[in-house]
Amino acid sequence: MATDGTIQVPDGRTVGFADFGNPGQTAVLWCHGGPGCRLGPVYVAPTAVDERIRLIGIDRPGYGLSTAQPGRSIADWVGDALAVADHRSIDSFATIGLSTGGAYALAVAALAADRVTGAVVCCSLTDMRHDPARNTMSRPHALAVWEAGDRDAAMAAAEASHGIDGTKIIESADGPPLPPSDQAMLQHPWGRHWMAALPDMFAHGVEGYTDDRLADGDGWTTFNVADISCPVIVLHGSADVIADPIHARHTASIVANAELRIVWSRALQHRGPHRPSTHRHLS
């Protein structure tokens, strides 16, 4: 069972968290996807605890139990993460970031390098200043939000693609359909747990998602990956159609000490000579 709680940070906002482990275990701050919430680790937590790993999920502003923070940057969230770690009496920890959360996992590693022992970015978006990766993004889910004239217009675009409560999230608005591996995941207990958390993900409507997109739209300008000193693993599926593997390749190319691991899928057999390799690539 997780310890579900909230803290108040200096600017008066509430930050929600869920601690899935025990004192003395290796702490890992879980940076959820967009959308997502602190409950992301719920399915894998029992296995993690058995391996003496303590996963702590944290709601970014506008998700779950956390107050929205319009205008926030990626780097702004680092203070929230450190506040939760301090509240749970955790001095050093690793970070893991899924999808949108990858940037936040790296930002903590860059801006709190003395406390972060390692980072994993999984199926994550890269620095959006890299046009080849940016050009792979969905228009309804990303480009339309980035191109909106203001936050209200961006929220309207996000609501059009997701629904105010997330009910449209599985609909494919454009691009290729989800590969068989992703479709199977949605039927897997992990996928069912993820879907069950939708009410928390959209507790504030689309505020959290909108502010995520607005924060990453200009790229990684509020932290410097050159300041990351810990080992980093960049993990990605070769069949990912939400964040194309080009994101992982670029991240691994700009982060020192990064190891790129692309998990090959038979779904890409038809792509011929350009399919990703199956071996580990050190970058």
Q: Give me the residue spans of the domains in the chain.
A: 3-282
Q: Using DSSP, state whether 146 is helix, strand or coil.
A: helix
CA distance 71 to 211: 7
Q: Please give the mean pLDDT across all residues of the chain.
A: 89
User: Which tops the pLDDT comparison, 283 or 11?
Assistant: 11
Give the per-residue pLDDT at 103. 98
CA distance 211 to 233: 26
Q: Say which residue the tokens 């080009």 belong to.
A: 246
Token pair listed for 161: 């693609």
Token pair listed for 264: 């090959």
pLDDT band at 125, cuts 50/70/90?
very high
Superfamily of domain 3-282: Alpha/Beta hydrolase fold, catalytic domain (3.40.50.1820)
- How does pLDDT run across 19-44, given as a tens digit for each residue? 999 999 999 999 999 999 999 999 89
Give the per-residue pLDDT at 171. 64
Greatest Cα pair distance, the chain, in angstroms, is: 54
Is pLDDT of 263 > 50? yes
Helices in 188-232 by DSSP H: which ranges? 189-196, 198-201, 207-216
Give the per-residue pLDDT at 195. 80
Calculate what percentage of the chain has a pLDDT beyond 90: 78
